Amino acid sequence: MDVIILQLLNGLDKGGAYALIALGLTLIFGTLGVVNFAHGALFMLGAFCAVTFNKLLSLEIVTTDPTKTTAWGTPLEIRTPYIEAYLGDFGNWVLNYSVPVSILLAIPVMLLFGFIMERGLIKHFYNRAHADQILVTFGLAIVLQEIIKSIFGANPIPQTAPDAVRGAADIGAALGMDPGVIVYPYWRMVYLAFAGAIIAAVFAFLQFTTFGMVVRAGMADRHTVGLLGINIERRFTIVFAIAAVVAGLAGVMYTPILPPDYHMGMDFLVLSFVVVVVGGMGSLPGAVAAGFLLGILQSFASMNEIKAILPGIDQIIIYLVAVVILLVRPRGLLGRKGVMEN
């Protein structure tokens, strides 16, 4: 029983991450009709916003101590973070909360980046073949990750969650079960809540604002909306920027779980495409549903009891489920006819 609950939690958590990335991807599909292979790179850029923020905070005053030397004979350097030197305790607090606080940095950065990317590049590919879109965005993804690599190196860079949410919570005890049976990290719960909040915000935005209504109409029938004299293109730019922000924030908040490195976007890329397609191209609820479904199934397939019967099932479960779903439901869980079918 406890195993099931734990794996369910794992699945929800994983699903939250998948859904967040897939959400932006499917938004871009649905509105702009663009296959964005650089979406993983946007996720990675978000994560590196957190890294950059942390690095900025930890900029150090370097003084040398001539009386001591390093093992290779140069004078020993003594480093004191600026922020600690100037702001004292508040500085420490900010450093402690650097991951959540860096959201403040990530939002404008990702907005700007999404805006530039759409206006400067994606815009010109609306009417090009999907293959061309794939090639150009894939090229962009490589360029972005190589730039990150040349700045930050290839090694993962650890980011820590704030002290207050660093450990694990004993959920079991809180529910009256034996203590220590169901333990779950605070940060993962924070991430799950965060994912839920972002998903809800995006849905609310599309559901309850006029802007959202136009975008939804555009997703349904772009041509007609264009005929109504509504400048749909400008709105799509904003949609793209929003998708970039969603991916970026997903990246920021994921850093304490997965120390970011330059390649993390590519690692998520294929998976997020599978999620989007299983959900149905251009369907936001579909992407969210598929994200959670695949996350949960993956968690359960990894259980020892199941692996004992079907060795290696955890390695292929996502793809297996994708195949089955696509064969049973031609357009994924909630896909519409005619989107990306040719």
Partner 1 sequence: MSLIRKPLNRRSILRAGALGGAALATPTIFTSRAWSAGYLNEPTGAEVVLGFNVPQTGAYADEGADELRAYQLAVKHLNGEGDGGLLNTFSSKELQGNGVNGKKVAFVTGDTQTKSDAARASAKRMIEKDGAIMITGGSSSGVAIAVQSLCQEAGVIFMAGLTHSNDTTGKDKRKNGFRHFFNTEMSGAALAPVLKNNYGTDRKAYHLTADYTWGWSQEESIKKYTEGMGWETTAAVRTPLGAGDFSQYITPVLNSGADVLVLNHYGKDMVNSLTQAVQFGLRDKQVNGKDFVIVVPLYSRLMAQGAGENVKGIFGSTNWHWSLQDEGSKAFVKSFGQEYGFPPSQAAHTCYVQTLLYADAAQRAGTFDPCAIAAALEGFEFDGMGNGPTLYRAEDHQCFKDVLVVKGKENPSSQFDLLEVVEITPRSQVEYPADLLGGELGACNNGA
Partner 2 sequence: MSTRTSPARDYIFFAIFSVAVLTMPIWLEPIGAGYPDLLQKFAIFGLFATGFNILFGLTGYLSFGHAAFLGVGSYTAVWTFKLLGMNPIPAVIMAIIASGIFALAIGYVSLRRSGIYFSILTLAFAQMSYNLAYSVLTPITNGETGLRVLRSDPRLFDGNGGQEGPLIANLFGVEMTGWGGFYFCAIILLIGFFIAQRIFRSPFGIMLRAVKTNQNRMTYTGLNPRPYTLAAFVISGMYAGLAGALMCITDPLAGAERMQWTASGEVVLMTILGGAGTLLGPIFGAALIKYFENIFSAFNEQTLHEIFSFLPDFIEGPVISVAGLFVGEGWHLTLGVLFMLIVIFLPGGLMEGVSRIGKLFKRSSGKSEPNRATAPAE
267 in contact with partner 2 (CB under 8 A):
no
The angle, 0 to 180 degrees and rounded to 10, between the axes of the packed helices 232-254 and 210-220 is 100
> Could you tell me the smallest distance in angstroms from the CB atom of residue 163 to partner 2?
37
> Could you tell me the smallest distance in angstroms from the CB atom of residue 172 to partner 2?
33
Find, among 293, 296, 264, the residue nearest to 277 by Cα. 293
For partner 1, the closer CB: 91 or 259: 259
- Partner from partner 1, partner 2, none contacting 320, C-beta within 5 to 8 A by type: partner 2
Place of tokens 């992407």: 287
Separation CA 30–CA 145 (nearest Å)? 26
Based on its alpha-carbon atoms, the radius of gyration of the chain, rounded to whole angstroms, reads: 22
Question: Which of 314, 325, 331, 335 is the binder for partner 1 (CB under 8 A)?
Answer: 314
For partner 2, the closer CB: 110 or 140: 140
Contact set for partner 2, span 33-92 (CB under 8 A)? 35
Residue 193, both tokens: 């809540």
Stretch that binds partner 1, among 28-36, 106-114, 308-316, 321-329 (CB under 8 A): 308-316
Other C-beta atoms closer than 10 Å to the C-beta of 38 total 30
291 in contact with partner 1 (CB under 8 A):
no
Task: Give first-to-last CA distance, the chain, whole Å.
Answer: 46
b (16+ CB within 10 A) / e for 127-160 = eeeeeebeebbbebbeebbeebeeebeeeebebe
Stretch that binds partner 1, among 22-30, 88-96, 112-120, 161-169 (CB under 8 A): 161-169
Find, among 49, 12, 6, 42, the residue nearest to 24 by Cα. 42
Question: Which of 135, 157, 171, 326 is the binder for partner 1 (CB under 8 A)?
Answer: 157
Contact set for partner 1, span 188-207 (CB under 8 A)? 188
For partner 1, the closer CB: 259 or 285: 259
DSSP track, 103-168: HHHHHHHHHHHHHHHHHHTGGGGTTS-HHHHHHHHHHHHHHHHHHHHHHH-SS-------GGGSSE
Count of residues that bind partner 2 according to CB under 8 A: 42
Are residues 30 and 219 in contact, defined by beta-carbon separation less than 8 angstroms?
A: yes
- Partner from partner 1, partner 2, none contacting 267, C-beta within 5 to 8 A by type: partner 1
- Partner from partner 1, partner 2, none contacting 127, C-beta within 5 to 8 A by type: none
- Partner from partner 2, partner 1, none contacting 332, C-beta within 5 to 8 A by type: partner 2
- Tell me how far CA of residue 335 lies from CA of 30, 235, 289, 329, in angstroms: 10, 23, 12, 9
- Partner from partner 2, partner 1, none contacting 288, C-beta within 5 to 8 A by type: none
Separation CA 295–CA 284 (nearest Å)? 17
Question: Which of 17, 332, 333, 334 is the binder for partner 2 (CB under 8 A)?
Answer: 332
- For binding to partner 2 (CB under 8 A), which residues are involved? 35, 121, 124, 128, 130-132, 134-136, 138-143, 145-147, 150, 270, 273-274, 277-278, 281, 311-312, 315-316, 319-320, 322-323, 326-327, 330-332, 340-342
- For binding to partner 1 (CB under 8 A), which residues are involved? 2-3, 6-7, 9-11, 13-14, 17, 70-74, 149, 153-158, 160-161, 166-168, 180-181, 183-185, 187-188, 256-259, 261, 263-264, 267-268, 298-299, 302-304, 307, 312, 314-315
